[in-house]
Each structure stands twice: as structure tokens, then as C-alpha cells.
């Protein structure tokens, strides 16, 4: 018998809290929600006023039985789930499942994990707030209705196993619409003028000033004319402005900003960031990593202050509390921060160390003084043109928080060069050293990265800290979008240079459209998006979540009945579902591209059973049509007749090697050469299946065979011991097997291998 049982959501939190409480307390965790709507059917009885059917999912059975056992032998039960809508629902489900009397159940919330805060919580128990619980039920049921009524429409009208939802469908929409902006973007170019001035005509002891003209010139001709003007011009400093300014630190991390910075500074994917943060949290090194709050506890503020003063001095400390600005924030947790701000570095693997350091810097910087800067701008006028040149520079007078941390931006920064401006005076004459007119192209809006998509979703109030990473995974798993690279294309950029009275012309090549790990919409994503836009515009509207959230808030304060709210939503929504099922055609994304230049047969593209496909000819003519799959980066929406016809040139025979044919093609994993039934991948960016020579192909085949030979540690015919990425492993047929820990691979006999394989097969079956 335990006197007191406290139930929290997270086991790591349970562990810490238990330390603060005496022997009369036991703290256990529910591991999040313990019940959910039944997975079979809809899980909601719509006729009976949206009565939900809750079930304890299989994977929660063990936790629940342990909770029941603990509850049965406890004196007082305190439910300390998080202080937000979901936490309140967890408290209610716990009370239901553990057969607790709601009027007697003690509901408490911790605002920070300190002895005083916990004592204060225990002194102020309240009851479960049913209005808040009902707001959660409305949220949950609405999401189920949207997801489970629209997805089956997609199975019928587009393709099986697809999905739609309040969050994921908007995420896809953002990516598709951005892609279309990029597709329709018209690149233009103009000439930018950059000058290097001398303070002295002679090349003696002087200063250089870099400045840019306020005007850009549309074409080469205009740029050249301006340079000619510059050659005869007198340049004079017309004005100097020195402005003091301050820069302030960014607020401490939330889930979303951590994901963005970890991507920008460390190159982590959203899922990777969360996995590493989870490890740090479990080790007690940082506070909870799924939060929308920028709030820091009093303890954290005090400790940060102490750390800053002892490390950098009093001058660098400025205690601040940041207001959380994001839409729909529920602030059940603190910002993400080091548990002990005085600990600068930690033990752990490289990624853990790097992420911890980032969190430490961000937290500490947020509690430091503003930086003081001095921005100098000088304007340089010409006596024969109204064009003004400006040079600007920034000098940091006091570094403040910059001593430890600067936030990165998403923009590919580059050409804006901030230099130190030399001591000059108004009216001073300057002499050009050189003036260059460089062709600059406009760039389309950037594609989303995983992290910038999270940022956008957060701005729209769509999704929660616990779902950002899973949502990004879902839309990739469904094939709606993919993380891809693009090599980019070369394009010429003209440069005209004026130096010593002469204008020379040259051209440099730059790479445009190079992309690394960006989110690209896939054909099926675009088809589904268009279908949803056309038929369910309300659901994929960017404001839909915000609007229903307002109603959930009304339910939470008791101003709105949750069943009535659902009824208002469901009636017209369900009608739309039925109408769409009844009246709309299947959507295949078919486009007719034109006729074959030789045979005159129609050429079209569409979404086929196995993905996007190009087709020559028509089955109704009695002839058999020819088919070819679209390659990865081709879109049904933009493919041209030429590109479609090109697809039919593969696979092709390019010659013989050792008496057998070599055939090139493009498969699921890119361009390949097939020889004697084996596939050899071509090198990305080097080889091209349309133009590769027989000699080069033989080179690739030999290289791959050599490498495969090196991988073999032991060869028993059917069974082999190979060297893999994670160390040695076994192969039999097309099955891989792990070796037991501590096995010496090079001493294995065939019998040993058979034993390992049999053992592995057995344990797989029993699992």
C-alpha cells in the first residue's frame, strides 16, 4: 500500500519528480494517451450525437494493467498530466479507466519541476475540467471524421492506400503550390553595378571603399553606357550617416525553432533532431523537447544569470522572459533548455554534444545583453549622373549575446558584404579603381525544407510540436512529396569591367537551381491535392484549423456545446463526401501531349497502376499501345512531347562484353547497365544512359565486381559472410542475417552459419 500515487505523462518526468517527493509518494507514467477511438470502422456513433467508442490499444494494455494495479493499492491518486487540452483528456481517460470518482479525483499541474512548485501543486488540487476534455473530444472526433471519410474517397477516385487529413493535406498543398509558383516563374536579369573606390588617385597609402549603385540596368547596352559615363565622372562623398543600433537575442528554443536551427546549423533532419533531443531529455540533460513555449522557469533564469556573470561578467547579463507568439500555443511545458544551464558541455555521442551545445548557446544568449552596433552608410554622388553609390558597414561596439550565438536565416546569404568603412569626410573626392556591371538573375521562391515547412505550419497554427516530425514522415511515406537534390543548370552571367578607362567584357558561368534535400511534390501528391482542392476546399483551406480552433476554445470555456459544433461541421461535410463519391470521375491526371511525329499515334501521360506512365497509341485501334514509366523528376503536369518520346529510347543495347549483351535503362533506383542478369548502377552526374559508351560500361561493370569481391569474407556457395556498413553479416539467398555479438567473422565455418540462420529464423517466427 502506497499512501500517494502521482500519474504523469512521461517516464522521465516521473523519475525526476519522484526524487523531490518523500517516501509516501510513488510516481508512475501513462506514456501519453492510454485510450483512443476504436480503429475499426469510424469509432463514432454519429446517430447517437457523435458518441465516441474508446478502446485501449494493444500496445497500451501493459501500461494500463500496471496503472490499474498501482491505483488499486494507493491511498490518494493525483493525476498530474500536462496542463493543456490533451493533458486534460488524458486525466479524464485515466479516471474512467481506473474507475476513479471524478468528483474526488485530484487533478494537479506542475508549472516547473522544483520542490516548491511541486509542493504548491499538491496544495492546490482541482477537479478534471470537463469543458476542456470536451474540447479535446471535439478535436479528436473532427480529425477522425475528416481523415476517415475523405481517405476512402481517394481510394475510390484516385488510388488505394492514400490518405487525407486536416494537417497533412495542407502540408502537401503548401509544397504543391510552391512548386507551381516555381514552374511559372519567369527569370529575368539585370546588371548590378559594384565599384571599388580609392581615397587617393595615386596608388600610395590609401583606403578602398566598396560601394553599390542604387540603380540596376536592364541590359548590357545600358550598363555599358553607364560605365562609360563613370569613366569621366567625378565621385564625391555626399553624405555620411553613423547610426547606433542594437540587436537582440532570439528567444529560447521551441520544438519548431529547434528543428529549424538544427537543420540550418547542423544539417539534421526534423526526425533526427527529435531523436537526439529525446536522448538528451531521457538522460536528464535538457527539458522536454516537444513544446510551443518560450518560457523559462525562475530557476532557469537565475542559473543562466549566474552562469553568464561568472563566465562573461555582469555587463553581459540581462534577464528576460519572452512571450510565446505562435498561434494556438498551449504552453504546457517550458522552452527547450539545458536542465542545468551551468553545464556547458556534456558526455555523449557527437550529435548529442552538438545539439546540446546549440541548446545551451541559444538559452544562454537569450539571457544576455543586447549587442550594440554602429552602422555607417556613406553615399557617393556623381557629377554627371543622378545615380548614387552607397557603401555600408557595421561595427560591433559591444558584442553582448553575439559572444555566444547568432541565429541563422533560411536565405542563402551571399553577396551582401558588410565591411568596415574607413575614416572619410564629407565632400572628399574618390577615384574609381574598378567598376563592374554584373548580370544578376531573379530567383524563384525557395522550395521548402523539412524545417521551413514546419515553420510555415506553425505560423498557420496547423499541427502540434508532437506531430511536426511524424507529419513530415507521413507525407513522404504516402509518396506525396520527396526529399530530393537537383544538380542545377549552368547559365552564363556577363560581366563588364571598367578599369583605367577601358571596358572589358567577360562571362562567368553560374549554377542555377541547385537544390539539396528539398521537398519536391510528386505526381500523386499533385493529383490528390487538386482533387481535394476541387472537392474539399474548406478542409484544405489554410484557415480551416484556425477557425475550428476558435470553436474548440469556445467549447473549452463552456460557451459552446461540443456535439452541436460537430453537428454543424458534419452535416454539410458529409453531404460533400457523398456528392463527390456519386458524381465525380476517377482522377488520373491524363494529359494528351500530341501525336507521334512518324506514326501519328496519340501520345499521352497519366497516373497508371504502377505510377506515372507515358503511352503511345490507343488500345481501341486494335493495336497494342506501348508504355514507358516516367522518370523521377518528370511531372505529368509539365512533361513535353519530346520528353515523353525520349522515354521510349530505353532500354537499349549498347554492345557486348564477354559475349553477352549490355543493356542500359532507368530503373527504380536510377540509370543502370544490365549484364548477365546483374544490374550495375551508373554514377550520378557522370554517366547518362542515353549516351554512355560500351567502354565506360565495361569499366563500371569491372569496378563493381571488384568491389563485391572485396566484400566477401567467407564464401560457402549459397551462404556468404559479407562486410557491410554495420560490420560483417550473413547472406543466404536474398535474406540477410545479423551475427551474434562478439562473433569473429573470419573464423566462421559453414556449420556455424547454418546454426545462426536457423536461430534467427526461429526468433523471427516467434516475434
Partner DNA sequence: CAGTGAGCGAGCTTCCGCTTGACTT
> What residues numbered 679-718 form the site for DNA, per CB under 7 A?
679-681
C-alpha 693/C-alpha 30 separation (Å) is 63
Cβ neighbors of 588 (< 8 A, separation 6 or more) are: 527, 606, 607
Residue 385, classed as helix, strand or coil, is: coil
| Cβ nearer to DNA, comparing 84 with 334 | 84
Sequence-separated (6 or more) residues with CB below 8 Å from residue 767 = none
Nearer to DNA, 166 or 447 (CB): 166
- Is the distance from CB of 105 to CB of 77 less than 8 angstroms? yes
Q: Which of 340/627 has CB closer to DNA?
A: 627
> Please, which of residues 628-657 interact with DNA by CB under 7 A?
628-629
Smallest gap from Cβ 626 to DNA, in A, equals 9
In angstroms, what is the minimal distance from the CB of 633 to DNA?
Answer: 16
Smallest gap from Cβ 280 to DNA, in A, equals 12
> Is 667 one of the binding residues for DNA (CB under 7 A)?
yes
Sole window of 4-12, 317-325, 344-352, 518-526 interacting with DNA (rule: CB under 7 A): 4-12
Report the residue from 98, 135, 164, 378 that binds DNA according to the rule CB under 7 A.
164
The residue (of 125 and 608) whose beta carbon lies closer to DNA is: 608
Considering only 465, 521, 525, 617, the residue that binds DNA (CB under 7 A) is 465
Closest approach, Cβ 175 to DNA, in A, equals 14
Instruction: Report, in Å, the least distance between residue 37 CB and DNA.
Output: 6
- Does 388 contact DNA by CB under 7 A? no
Query: Which residue stretch of 72-80, 309-317, 440-448, 470-478 sits at the interface with DNA (rule: CB under 7 A)?
Result: 470-478
Q: Least distance (Å) from DNA to the CB of residue 101?
A: 24
Nearer to DNA, 35 or 403 (CB): 35
Residues from 717 through 756 that contact DNA (CB under 7 A): 724-727, 729, 734, 736-738
Task: Single out the residue of 677, 674, 724 nearest to residue 701, CA to CA.
Answer: 674
Judged by beta carbon, residue 365 or residue 616, the one nearer DNA is 616
Look at the chain and count its residues: 767
Stretch that binds DNA, among 189-197, 356-364, 471-479, 691-699 (CB under 7 A): 471-479
Given a contact cutoff of 8 angstroms between Cβ atoms, the answer to whether 655 and 697 are in contact is yes
Name the helix (H) or strand (E) containing 551: helix 544-556
Of the candidates 127, 70, 120, which has an alpha carbon nearest to the alpha carbon of residue 101? 127
- How many residues bind DNA (CB under 7 A)? The answer is 83
Of the pair 368, 613, the CB lying nearest DNA is at 613
3 and 75 in contact (C-beta within 8 Å)?
yes
Residue linked to cell 540596376: 216
Q: Contact 162/151 with Cβ under 8 angstroms?
A: yes
CB of 763 to DNA, least distance (A): 7
Q: Which of 186, 668, 710, 741 binds DNA (CB under 7 A)?
A: 668
Identify which of 4, 6, 61 has the alpha carbon closest to the alpha carbon of residue 29. Answer: 6
CB < 8 Å & 24+ apart, contacts of 653-659: 654/692, 654/693, 654/694, 654/697, 655/694, 655/697, 656/694, 657/694, 657/697, 657/698, 657/701
Q: Which stretch binds DNA (CB under 7 A): 371-379, 488-496, 556-564, 619-627?
A: 619-627
CB atoms within 10 A of CB 59: 8
Would you say 142 or 195 has its CB closer to DNA?
A: 142
Residue with grid cell 545600358, as numbered in its chain: 222
Helix, strand, or coil (residue 533)? helix
Comparing CA positions, the residue from 138, 129, 141 lying closest to residue 42 is: 141
**From the list 229, 670, 732, 743, which residue makes contact with DNA (rule: CB under 7 A)?**
670
**Buried b or exposed e, range 123-138, using 16+ CB within 10 angstroms:** eeeeebbeebbbbbbb
Which positions from 263 through 302 interact with DNA, judged by CB under 7 A?
Answer: 278, 281-282, 288, 290
Given candidates 18, 129, 143, 399, which one binds DNA under the rule CB under 7 A?
143
Instruction: Identify residues 520-539 at the interface with DNA (CB under 7 A).
Output: none
> At 319, is the secondary structure helix, strand, or coil?
coil
Main-chain phi, psi angles of 552, to 5 degrees: -60, -40
Site for DNA in 302-361 (CB under 7 A): 330
Nearer to DNA, 40 or 205 (CB): 40
Residues in 57-76 that interact with DNA by CB under 7 A: 59
Q: Please, which residue, 10 or 293, has the CB nearer to DNA?
A: 10
CB of 319 to DNA, least distance (A): 27
Segment 182 to 201, residues that bind DNA, using CB under 7 A: none
Beta strand 74-79 pairing with 2-8: parallel
Binding-site member from 79, 167, 213, 663 for DNA (CB under 7 A): 167
Q: Which of 281, 288, 570, 672 is catalytic?
A: 288
Stretch that binds DNA, among 222-230, 341-349, 418-426, 463-471 (CB under 7 A): 463-471
Residue 723 per-residue DSSP state: E
Going by C-alpha positions, the residue among 88, 83, 186, 68 that lies closest to residue 129 is 88
Site mask for DNA (CB under 7 A), range 558-597, x = bound: ----------------------------------------
CA-to-CA distance for 184 and 540, rounded, in angstroms? 22
Interaction residues for DNA, span 81-140 (CB under 7 A)? 82, 84-86, 90, 140
Closer of 378 and 524 to DNA (Cβ): 524
Q: Tell me, what DSSP letter sits at residue 531? A: H
Binding span for DNA by CB under 7 A among 367-375, 497-505, 631-639, 661-669: 661-669
User: Cell digits for 646?
Assistant: 525520349
Closest by CA position to 728, among listed 717, 719, 737, 718: 737
Using CA atoms, how far apart are residues 331 and 629, in angstroms rounded to an integer? 49
User: Candidates 161-169, 297-305, 402-410, 741-749 — which segment interacts with DNA by CB under 7 A?
Assistant: 161-169
Identify the DSSP state of 560: S
d(CA 747, CA 749): 7
At closest approach, how far in Å is the CB of 53 from DNA? 13
421 DSSP 8-state letter: P
Site for DNA in 19-58 (CB under 7 A): 29, 31-33, 36-37, 39, 41
Nearest to 1 by CA among 97, 103, 58, 71: 71
Nearest to 277 by CA among 293, 256, 294: 256
Decide: is 151 part of the binding site for DNA (CB under 7 A). yes
Q: In angstroms, rounded to a whole number, what is the distance separating the alpha carbons of residues 661 and 673?
A: 10
Binding test (CB under 7 A) with DNA, winner from 65, 66, 69, 155: 155
Choose between 163 and 376: whose C-beta lies nearer to DNA.
163
Taking the complex as a whole, the smallest distance from the CB of residue 445 to DNA amounts, in Å, to 24
Among 627, 650, 716, 757, contact with DNA (rule: CB under 7 A): 627
Answer yes or no: 288 catalytic.
Answer: yes
Write down the residue that cell numbers 538528451 correspond to.
280
Cell numbers placing 506: 567577360
Q: Which residues are tagged catalytic?
A: 288
Amino acid at each position: 500500500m502506497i499512501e500517494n500515487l502521482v500519474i504523469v505523462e512521461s517516464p522521465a518526468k516521473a523519475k525526476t519528480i519522484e526524487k523531490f517527493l518523500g517516501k509516501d509518494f510513488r510516481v508512475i507514467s501513462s506514456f501519453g494517451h492510454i485510450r483512443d477511438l476504436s480503429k475499426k470502422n469510424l469509432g463514432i456513433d454519429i446517430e447517437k450525437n457523435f458518441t465516441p467508442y474508446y478502446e485501449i490499444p494493444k500496445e497500451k494494455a501493459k501500461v494500463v494493467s500496471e496503472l490499474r494495479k498501482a491505483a488499486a493499492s494507493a491511498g490518494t491518486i493525483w493525476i498530474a498530466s500536462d496542463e493543456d487540452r490533451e493533458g486534460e483528456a488524458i486525466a479524464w481517460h485515466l479516471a474512467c479507466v481506473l474507475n476513479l470518482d471524478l468528483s474526488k479525483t485530484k487533478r494537479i499541474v506542475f508549472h516547473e519541476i522544483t520542490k516548491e512548485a511541486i509542493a504548491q501543486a499538491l496544495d492546490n488540487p482541482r477537479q478534471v475540467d470537463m469543458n476542456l476534455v470536451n474540447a479535446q473530444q471535439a478535436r479528436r472526433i473532427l480529425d477522425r471524421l475528416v481523415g476517415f471519410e475523405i481517405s476512402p474517397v481517394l481510394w475510390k477516385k484516385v488510388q488505394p492506400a492514400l490518405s487525407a487529413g486536416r494537417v497533412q493535406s495542407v502540408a502537401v498543398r503548401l509544397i504543391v503550390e510552391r512548386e507551381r509558383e516555381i514552374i511559372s516563374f519567369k527569370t529575368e536579369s539585370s546588371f548590378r553595378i559594384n565599384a571599388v573606390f580609392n581615397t587617393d588617385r595615386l596608388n600610395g597609402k590609401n583606403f578602398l571603399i566598396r560601394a553599390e549603385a542604387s540603380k540596376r540596368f536592364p541590359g548590357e547596352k545600358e550598363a555599358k553606357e553607364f560605365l562609360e559615363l563613370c569613366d569621366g565622372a567625378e565621385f564625391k562623398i555626399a553624405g555620411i550617416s553613423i547610426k547606433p543600433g542594437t540587436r537582440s537575442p532570439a528567444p529560447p528554443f521551441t520544438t519548431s525553432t529547434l528543428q529549424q536551427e538544427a537543420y540550418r546549423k547542423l544539417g539534421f533532419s526534423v526526425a533526427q533532431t527529435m531523436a537526439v533531443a529525446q536522448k538528451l531529455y531521457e538522460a536528464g540533460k535538457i527539458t522536454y523537447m516537444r513544446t510551443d513555449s518560450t518560457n523559462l522557469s525562475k530557476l532557469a533564469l537565475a542559473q543562466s544569470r549566474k552562469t553568464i556573470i561568472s563566465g562573461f561578467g555582469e555587463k553581459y547579463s540581462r534577464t528576460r522572459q519572452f512571450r510565446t507568439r505562435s498561434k494556438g500555443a498551449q504552453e504546457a511545458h517550458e522552452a527547450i533548455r539545458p536542465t542545468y544551464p551551468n553545464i556547458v558541455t556534456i558526455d555523449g555521442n557527437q550529435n548529442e554534444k552538438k545539439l546540446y551545445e546549440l541548446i545551451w548557446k541559444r538559452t544562454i544568449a537569450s539571457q544576455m545583453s543586447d549587442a550594440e552596433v554602429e552602422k555607417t552608410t556613406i553615399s557617393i554622388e556623381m557629377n554627371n549622373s543622378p545615380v548614387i553609390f552607397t557603401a555600408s558597414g557595421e561595427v560591433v561596439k559591444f558584442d553582448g549575446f553575439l559572444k555566444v550565438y547568432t541565429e541563422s536565416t533560411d536565405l542563402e546569404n551571399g553577396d551582401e558584404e558588410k565591411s568596415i568603412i574607413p575614416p572619410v569626410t564629407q565632400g572628399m573626392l574618390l577615384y574609381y579603381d574598378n567598376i563592374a556591371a554584373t548580370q544578376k538573375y531573379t530567383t524563384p521562391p525557395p522550395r521548402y525544407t523539412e524545417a521551413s515547412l514546419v515553420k510555415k505550419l506553425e505560423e498557420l497554427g496547423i499541427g502540434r510540436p508532437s506531430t511536426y516530425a511524424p507529419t513530415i514522415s507521413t507525407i513522404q511515406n504516402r509518396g506525396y512529396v520527396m526529399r530530393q537534390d537537383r544538380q542545377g543548370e549552368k547559365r552564363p552571367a556577363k560581366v563588364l569591367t571598367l578599369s583605367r578607362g577601358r571596358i572589358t567584357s567577360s562571362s562567368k558561368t553560374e549554377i542555377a537551381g541547385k537544390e539539396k534535400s528539398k521537398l519536391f511534390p510528386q505526381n500523386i501528391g499533385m493529383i490528390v491535392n487538386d482533387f481535394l482542392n476541387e472537392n474539399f476546399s474548406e478542409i484544405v483551406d489554410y484557415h480551416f484549423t484556425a477557425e475550428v480552433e476558435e470553436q474548440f476554445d469556445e467549447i473549452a470555456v463552456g460557451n459552446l456545446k461540443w456535439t452541436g459544433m460537430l453537428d454543424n461541421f458534419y452535416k454539410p461535410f458529409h453531404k460533400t463526401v457523398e456528392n463527390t463519391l456519386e458524381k465525380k470521375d476517377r482522377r488520373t491526371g491524363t494529359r494528351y501531349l500530341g501525336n507521334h511525329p512518324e506514326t501519328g499515334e496519340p501520345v499521352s501521360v497519366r497516373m497508371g497502376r504502377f505510377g506515372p506512365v507515358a503511352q503511345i497509341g490507343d488500345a481501341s485501334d486494335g493495336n497494342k499501345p506501348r508504355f514507358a514509366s516516367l522518370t523521377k523528376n518528370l511531372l505529368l503536369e509539365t512533361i513535353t512531347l519530346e520528353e515523353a518520346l525520349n522515354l521510349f529510347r530505353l532500354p537499349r543495347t549498347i554492345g557486348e562484353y564477354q559475349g553477352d549483351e549490355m543493356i542500359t535503362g532507368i530503373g527504380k533506383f536510377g540509370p543502370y547497365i544490365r549484364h548477365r542478369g546483374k544490374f550495375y548502377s551508373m554514377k550520378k552526374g557522370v554517366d547518362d544512359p542515353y549516351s554512355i559508351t560500351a567502354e565506360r560500361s565495361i569499366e563500371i561493370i569491372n569496378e563493381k565486381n571488384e568491389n563485391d569481391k572485396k566484400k566477401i569474407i567467407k564464401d560457402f556457395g549459397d551462404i556468404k559472410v559479407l562486410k557491410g556498413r554495420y560490420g560483417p553479416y550473413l547472406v543466404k539467398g536474398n535474406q540477410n542475417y545479423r551475427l551474434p555479438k562478439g562473433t569473429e567473422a573470419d573464423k566462421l565455418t559453414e556449420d556455424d552459419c547454418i546454426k545462426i540462420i536457423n536461430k534467427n529464423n526461429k526468433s523471427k517466427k516467434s516475434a
